[in-house]
Amino acid sequence: MGRGNTQAMNIRGGPKVTVLMSVYNGEHYLNEAVDSILGQTFTDFEFLIINDASTDRTPEILYGYDDPRIRIVTNEENLGLTKSLNKGLALARGEYIARMDADDISLPERLEKQILSLEKNLDIGVLGTSVQYIDESGKRLQIIRWPQRDLLIKWLLCFMNPIAHPSVIIRHELLKDCGSSYDEGVIFAQDYDLWVRLSSRTHFENHEDILLYLRKTRENISYTKYNEQKMFSHIISKRAVKNIAGATVTQTVIDSILNGKMEGKCTYKDLQEGLKTIYRSFLSLNRGTSLKDRIFMRKDIVTRAIRIKAEGKSETNSSLDRIKFLLFTFYYYPPGPIIVFARKLSHSIVGRNNR
């Protein structure tokens, strides 16, 4: 999409895209984030930046830009991310809402490729992308490619958030029709909560290309507020299991699955029954699921079960329970027992080396 198309779009009276970013004391990486948006190959956008009462050089940096596409709104007091994003949604004029964080970097063709996909696929309401982690210095690290298609994204939503929030573009009309915004009662994992609430109303997709560099630092909320974010994620996961898979399982089962260890009074039997209930219920709501997708989901539940650490649980240490567990893994994913033995062998070797 070049400048010719952009001029035609402006006839509609507003920008095609609102890039929405909230920033609080983001002076370290703010220039890189802003520059990456202003350098997009797709140019029909407004860049709506909510300065959440920053006390560092953030205001100076923002007002140092002379670009008519930038709209700066300054909060009189610090409202936090959720309320700031909702403030931005209320002010946004674009047909699409593109999220951006103040420490990340959007690749030049991000908006162009995402808008092209959304224009071709009208059933997609939320579109994320593959991402690559970077560190404080910008060094490229791990590449994350989430499943691309709606069915598998919704499956994973039962256990986690498989959509990178700052990579997302959402149809503005979808949010208006649903009366949806970020739930201000959800202080952390507000994006995960929004996806679950939108899951019954639209299709999701992740673009296969890496279109965002996602910065991982000790200043990330996922690091500084790890326990709080985990608590909200577990609550949302249980709701996702109910809303998306149509299944009901206990919070202790959810906590055990997500923490990778037995929690509370959860037993291996509870864990296996919980995973089976989620899988069967999900399939009953999605009867056209392909064999390839079924294998993906079966492998996923077996992998999650294998990750569970059950040391100290007498009921999980008996020979009978070990056999039942191996049968469970074999039934749902035949290579499962091999994975179990491989992990045991690996742990044994590591144990010997550490002596």
pLDDT digits (tens, 9 = 90+) for 43-92: 999 999 999 999 999 999 999 999 999 999 999 999 999 999 999 999 99
What is the pLDDT averaged over residues 188-195?
94
Residue 179: burial class (beta carbons within 10 Å; 0-12, 13-18, 19+): exposed
Confidence of residue 98 (pLDDT cuts 50, 70, 90): very high
Per CATH, the homologous superfamily of domain 3-225 is Spore Coat Polysaccharide Biosynthesis Protein SpsA; Chain A (3.90.550.10)
Measured CA to CA in angstroms, residue 292 lies from 54, 95, 153, 311 at distances of: 49, 35, 14, 34
Give the 3-state DSSP-derived string for 258-306, with helices as H, strands as E and coil as C: HHCECCCCCCHHHHHHHHHHHHHHHHHHCCCCCHHHHHHHHHHHHHHHH
Confidence of residue 291 (pLDDT cuts 50, 70, 90): very high
What percent of the chain lies above the pLDDT cut of 90?
70
> How much is the mean pLDDT over the chain?
88
Q: Comparing 70-79, 102-111, 181-190, 293-302, which segment has the lowest mean pLDDT?
A: 181-190
Examine the pLDDT at 10 and tell me if it is beyond 50.
no
The segment(s) of the chain belonging to CATH 3.90.550.10 are: 3-225
How many Cβ atoms sit within 10 Å of the Cβ of residue 327? 13
Q: Which phi and psi angles does 105 have, rounded to 5°?
A: -130, 120
Q: List, for residues 222-271, the tens digit of each pLDDT value.
A: 667 778 888 999 999 999 999 999 999 999 999 999 988 888 888 888 88
305 Cβ partners below 8 Å, 6+ apart?
A: 271, 272, 275, 325, 328, 329
Counted residue by residue, the chain has a size of 355
Can you say whether the dihedral through the CA atoms of 296, 298, 303, 305 is positive or negative? positive
